[in-house]
Amino acid sequence: MSWQTTLSWENAKKRSKILQQIRNFFSERNVTEVETPALSQGTVTDVYLDALSCEYNYDGDSLPDQARCLYLQTSPEFHMKRLLASGYGCIYQIAKAFRHEEMGRHHNPEFTMLEWYRVGFDHFKLMAEVEALLIDILGCAKPVYFSYQAIFEKVVAIDPLNTTQQALLSLLEKKGKLSDWLIEDSQKDDDNDLLLQFIFSEIIEPTIGLTSPCFIYDFPRSQASLAKISTGDSRVAERFECYFKGVEIANGFNELTDVKQQQSRFEHDNLKRSTLALDTKPIDKNFIAALEQGFPNCAGVALGVDRLVMLALGVEDIADVLSFPISRA
């Protein structure tokens, strides 16, 4: 094990400059920087996302020898939305986020996230702002846009909104991507999400965003528990992602404001976790209470800062833009 940093002094200065560019970008647009806690009593229920947790022994509601489980944020989303429900306007944050996942070339369990919310925006208007930020930081070409349905039809000739598990399994077999665990786990599901997400990541992602950023929008509603359902097609929700040079760089939503729908979606997530033999997660009651109070129509997006810096510096491993990755933390 080495004690030394993996981030060179030259790249550290370049990273600092990019962070300043981000702050200038939002200052020019009158978006206010905020700061929220990294620890929370609730966490995400997403089936494909797990938080890191810790124990706190000094909670006022517990006995001295009893620990309260707290969760490190997977993003600052719920706390920022509580600020919006409290009457804040357009806000952004550059924050540490934590996810209980393997370290890889594009991921470190502790990473830096840029998240922002624009009151009065929908997901299309927010995509245009993400585009402006990417061009400003990366000097890249103008992005291209595809709906989730259109990109599936273009790359694998399947309509993801009107297909069967057998058709998806047959496609994977034809592409040499089928495995026993996929067959077994997909049979536990009451939808096609596992297979669709696997096809998207393994077959579609390598083909998009190669020369310019690519936005994919209007994901299946079952893959967007925090987004509004589209008024044009109830099968999809108003969520988008952005990909560039093999990297998923941003994930955004036209935010769901209906508290009953949100509670129901969290409960459905936990039901699905149980079906898949995963631990259920505590629903963030403070976030639900904030939605009950009232939440403005807005769109929000989370963007991976470390990945953005990787693209800007032209490096291939996230460790090259971090002072100390988890292996040296």
Band of pLDDT at residue 1, cut at 50, 70 and 90: low
Distances (CA, A) of 189 to 50, 128, 148, 181: 19, 35, 21, 13
The model's pLDDT over 124-137, given as tens digits with 9 standing for 90+, comes to 999 999 999 999 99
Length of the chain: 329
Query: What per-residue confidence (pLDDT) applies to 64?
Result: 63
pLDDT over 80 (residue 62): no
- 198/177 Cα distance (integer angstroms): 9
Mean pLDDT, the chain, whole residue set: 94
pLDDT tens figures, 298-307: 999 999 999 9
What is the average per-residue pLDDT within 67-75? 93
Residue 184 has pLDDT above 90, yes or no: no
Residue 190 reports pLDDT greater than 90: no
Residue 285: which pLDDT band, with cuts at 50, 70 and 90?
Answer: very high
Q: Tell me, what DSSP letter sits at residue 235?
A: T
Reduced to 3 states, what is the DSSP secondary structure of residue 10? helix
- The C-alpha angle with vertex 266 and arms to 93 and 169, in degrees rounded to 5, equals 100
